[in-house]
Amino acid sequence: MARAIVYTEIGSPDVLHLIEIPEPLPAAGEVVVRIEAAGVNPIDAKLRGGKRPSPPITEPRPVGFDGAGVIEAVGDGVEGFVVGDRVAIRDTVGTYSSALAVPAAHLALLPDAVTAAEGAGIGIPAGTAYQALKSLGVTADDVLLVHAGSGAVGQAAVQFAVAWGATVIATASPARHDQLRDLGAIPVAYGDGLLDRVRDAAPSDVTVVLDGAGTDEAIETSLALVADRDRIATIVRGPDAASFGIRAFSGGAPQPLTEQELAWRAEALPKTIELLASGDFTIELGPELPLAEAARAHELVEEHVAGKILLVP
């Protein structure tokens, strides 16, 4: 039997339970991955706690979208993957498990230079950052402001934008500024006076903003800096982004991602793996907990503990 974390009601982290499930079998176009690490993301906790709407629960609901592991079975019609391959998983429900059937289209090969922990930390953070910057048209000519630059999405956005030649300013608490400098960003502390600090730090006018904080301060500062509101986007304030005239990518936004945006999110997985393998990208790893301690992992996410939190079967 395999094991998986599920919940049957919306609530606190305590609603998460470890159960036994039948060993998965691959359908056509799928492979079975023996999970070595599952990435824990804020969206997991928001769905579990009801902060993000989801359909009524009619059966035990699995958790998690990102992971990494080793292929142990291959379904009909799958090309490019064989038993024994190390892979990273994106956008597949149920990665908080010991084994999972995954569409082959949602996988990318992991070279030996990239760990399972790193592979499990790519999907949602890197996919969100990459797609958002592509949607905003960030280039080497831009001065980009990233709110919440020290978070997983923020760090990915900083690294992609720097690699593309943009100048990046990132907000974070002072304790996280050295890390942001190491990633190539100009750090700025949030709080009263943020607008003036950003203006002082910027070598020229800010041209584009990615908001990962969702605070009124972040939104107001963004609106004051960038006149073209089509170049301001939030990944947090989706429900009311339109009232500010800015863009929203997921984050509770009523409009779905476009086919192009979904394609960019998929593209981010292999591209990030390439950068990790070459030493041109880093993922800050945080606490690593046994699968049975998923509830504690969600508590840590809600406490905003630094680094990518992982569950290990």
Q: Per the domain annotation, does 239 fall within a domain?
A: yes
Q: Per the domain annotation, does 266 fall within a domain?
A: no
Co-location of 118 and 135 in the same domain: no
Residue appearing with tokens 């080793």: 70
Co-location of 167 and 235 in the same domain: yes
End position of a domain, from candidates 248, 272, 297? 248
Co-location of 113 and 173 in the same domain: no
State pLDDT tens for residues 121-132.
999 999 999 999
State pLDDT tens for residues 160-206.
999 999 999 999 999 999 999 999 999 999 999 999 999 999 999 99
Q: Per the domain annotation, does 257 fall within a domain?
A: no
Q: Which residues form the domain of 180?
A: 125-248
We report the CATH number of the domain holding residue 79 as 3.90.180.10
Q: Which own/partner contact pairs does 172-179 have at CB distance under 8 Å and 24+ positions apart?
A: 172/148, 176/149, 176/150, 176/306, 179/150, 179/155, 179/284
Q: Per the domain annotation, does 42 fall within a domain?
A: yes
Q: Per the domain annotation, does 261 fall within a domain?
A: no
Mean pLDDT of 73-82: 98
- Per-position DSSP letters for 215-266, written without gaps between them: -HHHHHHHHHH-S-GGGEEESS-GGGHHHHT-EE-STT-SSPPPHHHHHHHH
Co-location of 144 and 244 in the same domain: yes
Mean pLDDT of 221-236: 97
Q: Per the domain annotation, does 23 fall within a domain?
A: yes
Mean pLDDT of 93-119: 98
Residue 104 DSSP label? G
Q: Examine the pLDDT at 251 and tell me if it is beyond 90.
A: no
pTM of structure: 0.96
Co-location of 154 and 211 in the same domain: yes
One-letter amino acid at 275 equals L
Residue appearing with tokens 């993301």: 41
We report the CATH number of the domain holding residue 238 as 3.40.50.720
Co-location of 303 and 217 in the same domain: no
